[in-house]
Structure 1
């Protein structure tokens, strides 16, 4: 029941710069408080909690980050600081306060809290959009493992639909030197993607496209990547997107779906927490293997294999339904 308090304490340490300062070297509470303009006693009590949950440790009267704490410094490659701030944001927190409304009515809690859907909201709130893009990039670090489990050899064109800051597409292009990539995203995310994919774009290996993929997708790709995309959408919208991919793909093409695909039996807790988060934020869900196969079949596709990734993520490889 106190999980929300702990996550707020961690996010507060990130917000106040405590972990950034400790990343520069150990410090006692007094000097740390003086340097950051904080109340010494209150800071000490916060640090005690952070030590109890394994974020910092105390040695000879001075505090230093643990391995976990070092990942929570701003600018760390893991992006965990940005993810902590996103999960602690009013954008998320205000939405979760309406969970009961979502369960009662079937509407999204985000809509109850903010009066619109997530993506329309982000278009009108650039600061939150920047935080969202950074947090999603951090949460998508698993995607760099996709080329380890799926062979992109021989692939000519890869289209990453809703690919965020471009971390996955960059990993694919690095693993498949002969491939050309296309990233389709909304404007706020494309700004970060231009920085991540700039070298590939300059080499003529990547195009960045501003578009709504629900209305159509680029034609003729060998692979369409959908990483944490379908869980944002209702069955109707997800089915429509999969149909666009099926109509547009090159002969022998594939759709790769990276999601927390729930096993038909079993209760993986992290995936189920995030399934309720999707209920709060979107009309989508974390679907079961059977649920994805039903969606795929309705779009003329079928599951070829499901491969395991870190953090309960799985990669579903889909291809056209074989013709009789």
Structure 2
């Protein structure tokens, strides 16, 4: 047993060393230094583009997974468990730093950084408390403590930069996220009401009440998350959510969804239509129908007029008020697209949504569901003969977890969030097959667009 343990340690170390060799060879060939942790993130730096190199991407996954597994192997299990139980502090402190615009203040100060007294002054927050918050984050390599109580941005903290002068952010706090990429909005909402809702997970498991989710317990409401978000007093919360959702589509590849000129794409529950707009930009002959609730459709019209006015002027896009829990009014669609819709709902509600689409479908209609697909942390020894095209995915080398563990954790975080906030679920492929069938569709193909965390799950009308 002893030799097996040491062998695994060496194996993990070898994976890390081999991955470092691969990364260094790519950067050496380009004669570019690897980005430094202490320097702010610069998206225009050629070194950042090299991180998208397939060799570097693969090596990076192996390093993160192996380093985490190596740490978990050698660390005290009690300490590891206790540290995991306190990880919520990171979320809370990260949101606090973002809400008081620390990153922008430090960006303007430069690499020498600022004392906590000066960082806290614009927001009139307690400098001692702010220093403690930033120190906890610096311990986790978010921000850099240059000298005691003097902090500066680093590679990780700087991605929270909203790209505006700090003075503007403090003068117009309700507009601080407008015009941004959406990343900071996503981070803040995740560390805000998502964290509060998930905190009630054990309470709702141990003391369940019919129809009550973690969100309901945390916020003391019987309303759904969507109804609560649409309250008049939650205008800022709704704005932040919309901006965050736009950000999640910024780098999404839509090449697998394009259809021919004259075809109709229905963006079901499309929000402001940012996803179908990206498709229409690449395929001007495609007719688009954006469907959502009344308040959201108003925003969709504004978004399309600002970003693709030619499609609006030529009446190639229609904005339709529609609740996808009711019968689908468009009978001639080439594609029904649901991006980040089904994961919000239970199997029963999801199947009902799909059934309405099936009832309106032509024999040639395609269903495209854009969602994430979690995979097991255990190895699949025999995938079987009847695998769905595109379903087989690469797995990490042993002794790493086959799904790369903490190197790819986001879908597992999101799965618990969906349960606690909406009663939804991130579905495995087998789970999708079942839900498609209940809704009258046959799952026939899966695409995994390069550079995207999402999968495109394709269905056709079932016989």
TM interval, shorter chain, is 0.7 to 0.9
1:33/1:40 contact within 8 Å kept: yes
1:113-192 equivalences in 2 (<5 Å): 113-125=220-232, 126-127=234-235, 128-142=237-251, 144-147=252-255, 149-154=256-261, 156-192=263-299
2:106/2:153 contact within 8 Å kept: yes
Give the match for residue 432 of structure 2: 292
**Could you state the TM-score of these two structures normalised by the residue count of structure 1?**
0.86
Q: Does 1:218 align with 2:305?
A: no
Alpha-carbon distance between aligned partners in 2 of 1:110 and 1:173, rounded to the nearest angstrom: 36
Other structure's SS at 2:254 match: helix
Match of 1:21 among 81, 84, 105: 105
User: CA 1:178 to 1:65, structure 2 compared with 1: closer, same or farther past 3 Å?
Assistant: farther
Alpha-carbon distance between aligned partners in 2 of 1:257 and 1:274, rounded to the nearest angstrom: 17
Alpha-carbon distance between aligned partners in 2 of 1:161 and 1:297, rounded to the nearest angstrom: 19
**Could you state the TM-score of these two structures normalised by the residue count of structure 2?**
0.62
Q: CA deviation at 1:160?
A: 1.0
Give the match for residue 31 of structure 1: 118
Query: Which stretches in structure 2 are left out of the alignment for 5+ residues?
Result: 1-84, 163-176, 379-402
User: CA 1:20 to 1:185, structure 2 compared with 1: closer, same or farther past 3 Å?
Assistant: farther
Give the match for residue 2 of structure 1: 86
Give the match for residue 270 of structure 1: 410
| 1:189-247 Cα deviation digits (max 9, x unpaired) | 33443333222434423222222111022311111111111111122221121111122
1:99-110 equivalences in 2 (<5 Å): 99-104=201-206, 105=208, 107=211, 108-110=213-215
Alpha-carbon distance between aligned partners in 2 of 1:4 and 1:136, rounded to the nearest angstrom: 23
1:262/1:288 contact within 8 Å kept: yes
1:72/1:79 contact within 8 Å kept: no
Match of 1:96 among 162, 185, 198: 198
Q: CA deviation at 1:67?
A: 4.0
Q: CA deviation at 1:58?
A: 5.7
Q: CA deviation at 1:16?
A: 0.5
User: CA 1:261 to 1:211, structure 2 compared with 1: closer, same or farther past 3 Å?
Assistant: same
Query: Which stretches in structure 1 are left out of the alignment for 5+ residues?
Result: none
2:114/2:152 contact within 8 Å kept: no
Alpha-carbon distance between aligned partners in 2 of 1:35 and 1:194, rounded to the nearest angstrom: 37
1:71/1:79 contact within 8 Å kept: no
User: CA 1:191 to 1:102, structure 2 compared with 1: closer, same or farther past 3 Å?
Assistant: farther
Give the match for residue 454 of structure 2: 313
**Which protein shows a greater Rg?**
2
2:257/2:368 contact within 8 Å kept: no
Alpha-carbon distance between aligned partners in 2 of 1:109 and 1:182, rounded to the nearest angstrom: 34
Alpha-carbon distance between aligned partners in 1 of 2:151 and 2:352, rounded to the nearest angstrom: 53
User: CA 1:17 to 1:181, structure 2 compared with 1: closer, same or farther past 3 Å?
Assistant: same
1:308/1:315 contact within 8 Å kept: yes
Q: CA deviation at 1:179?
A: 0.7
Alpha-carbon distance between aligned partners in 1 of 2:264 and 2:161, rounded to the nearest angstrom: 36
Alpha-carbon distance between aligned partners in 2 of 1:263 and 1:154, rounded to the nearest angstrom: 36
1:123/1:188 contact within 8 Å kept: no
User: CA 1:59 to 1:206, structure 2 compared with 1: closer, same or farther past 3 Å?
Assistant: farther
Other structure's SS at 2:348 match: helix
Q: Where do 4+ consecutive residues of structure 1 move more than 6 Å?
A: 59-62
1:129/1:188 contact within 8 Å kept: no
Q: Does 1:206 align with 2:317?
A: yes
Q: How many residues align?
A: 319
Alpha-carbon distance between aligned partners in 1 of 2:342 and 2:298, rounded to the nearest angstrom: 22
User: CA 1:252 to 1:119, structure 2 compared with 1: closer, same or farther past 3 Å?
Assistant: same
1:194/1:208 contact within 8 Å kept: yes
User: CA 1:132 to 1:290, structure 2 compared with 1: closer, same or farther past 3 Å?
Assistant: same
